[in-house]
Chains A and B, each alone.
Chain A
Amino acid sequence: MLEYVDKIRDIARRLLSENKVDVVIGFRQGSVPMMSEPAVISRPEDVDELYWDYNCGINLTNYLTKRPDRIGIVAKGCDSRNIVTHMVENQIKREQLYIIGAPCHGMIDRSRILAALGDQEPTKVVVNDSEIVVTGPGLERKFDRKEYLQNNCATCIHRNPVIYDELLAAPVEEQKLTNRYADVEKIEAMSPDDKWAFFDKMLAPCIRCYACRNACPLCYCPTCFVDEARPQWVGKSIDPTDVRTFHFLRAYHCAGRCTDCGACERACPVNIPVRLLTKKLNKDVEDLYGFEPGMVPDVRPPLDVYRPDDPGGFIK
């Protein structure tokens, strides 16, 4: 994907110097390996800061919300679906955007690589199509790139942008997967007590930092329910009931909207697989209402519409 770098810079330079956009939102290299960070570029002379690699897992749509200006934005498959969601939810207008579509090969899972390295600190990470080469003081390790994809990228079936003005390369082949929801089904098959215990264990490390919420392009309420004090919807402690209530509600707010971009899980400092909650919702919304979020700009979200013959067996 490194071949995208020059193209992104060329397009950004052209858009800015021809005054087609006010800013270009993309990635720049981070100060530590495997941490490419968002960059907002507004001057043609700064476009060489822009970068692209296998660490661009942050969802850039998060930086579009309610912007009043004209924006060029680099968008992977998932970012593009969140742009569509943003348009549907009136957070941005299509005519403000110049979407630079990036057919995606999947981002790498930084946390799993760091875990495999233990105490050793990488100073340089080079990724090519087949492997990830990690080097540092007294350290040289290779990882199979496909084995170390972010979990959501491994089960992604929309790697190509669904909406764009220009593509950085020909569309990539979409993955054919037999079952994207195996992890969710495993939990569904448990007894209620086992489910409860599973999530108790999963959520135990949560420190309520809200990084999952902050990284999520769906979370743009002016005051989040967790920050509100009157009324206080959920306790602010790390009491297990408060933690569970937070995670339940955070996920539920994403119902029918989540594109499984993985930004939440990537942002979590204690590696909680929070996507197990949103994925369940994605599965249900797909099963019940045949809806996949962010695919078409002129269809209302599933929880904003109804059909008289919707499944309703649970209502007595």
Chain B
Amino acid sequence: MSGNYYARRKFAVMKGLLEYMGLEPGRLQFSWISSAESTKFVEVANTVAEEVKALGPAKHFIKEKAEVA
């Protein structure tokens, strides 16, 4: 249980820094879902998918394949 709370602090700070560096808000999402909350899981998965689709393909943190001669 307490692990969620520790992680919340770490994620809050990490999300802040990633979005400060230019990651689009909405690209990175967090949720607390217990194994008993199947309907919540479906809802969250759908919302995340919709929001990320709206943002379009990722542009950042992508590394082109190395050129091999």
A binding-site residues for B, Cβ under 8 Å: 184, 187-188, 192-199, 235, 239, 241-242, 244-245, 248, 251-252, 255-256, 277, 280-281, 284-285, 288-289, 302-308, 310-312, 314-316
Which residue of chain B has its CB nearest to the CB of A237? B66
A-chain residues with CB within 8 Å of residue B16 when the two chains form the complex: 280-281, 284
> By DSSP majority rule, is chain A's interface helix, strand, loop, or mixed?
helix
Which residue of chain A has its CB nearest to the CB of B16? A284
Which residue of chain A has its CB nearest to the CB of B33? A316
Complex Cα distance A303/B10, Å?
Answer: 6
CB-contact partner of B17 in A194, A281, A307, under 8 A:
A281
Contact (Cβ within 8 A) A288 B13: yes
**Known interface pairs A239-B63, A255-B13; A192-B25 also in contact (CB < 8 Å):** yes
Contact (Cβ within 8 A) A310 B8: yes
Which residue of chain B has its CB nearest to the CB of A287? B16
Which residue of chain B has its CB nearest to the CB of A192? B24
B49: interface (CB < 8 Å): no
**Known interface pairs A241-B61, A252-B17, A285-B13; A315-B30 also in contact (CB < 8 Å):** yes
A-chain residues with CB within 8 Å of residue B62 when the two chains form the complex: 241
By Cβ-Cβ distance, the 8 closest A-B pairs, closest first, are A196-B22, A306-B5, A195-B22, A316-B31, A241-B63, A315-B30, A284-B16, A192-B24
Contact (Cβ within 8 A) A306 B61: no
Contact (Cβ within 8 A) A312 B22: no
With a 10 A CB-CB cut-off, give which of A251, A252, A305, A316 has the most chain B CB atoms.
A316
Complex Cα distance A260/B5, Å?
Answer: 27
Contact (Cβ within 8 A) B31 A315: yes
Complex Cα distance A311/B8, Å?
Answer: 8
CB-contact partner of B20 in A280, A285, A303, under 8 A:
A280
Given pairs A248-B17, A281-B16, 18 additional interface contacts (CB within 8 A)? A187-B20, A196-B23, A198-B22, A199-B21, A235-B63, A242-B63, A248-B21, A255-B10, A255-B13, A284-B12, A284-B13, A285-B13, A288-B13, A306-B8, A306-B9, A310-B5, A316-B29, A316-B44
Instruction: Report B50 CB to chain A, min CB distance, Å.
Output: 13
Complex Cα distance A184/B20, Å?
Answer: 9
**Known interface pairs A195-B22, A199-B22, A306-B6; A251-B17 also in contact (CB < 8 Å):** yes
Contact (Cβ within 8 A) A195 B9: no
With a 10 A CB-CB cut-off, give which of A248, A277, A302, A307 has the most chain B CB atoms.
A248
Complex Cα distance A241/B61, Å?
Answer: 5
Instruction: Report B23 CB to chain A, min CB distance, Å.
Output: 7
Contact (Cβ within 8 A) B30 A314: yes
Which residue of chain A has its CB nearest to the CB of B1? A308
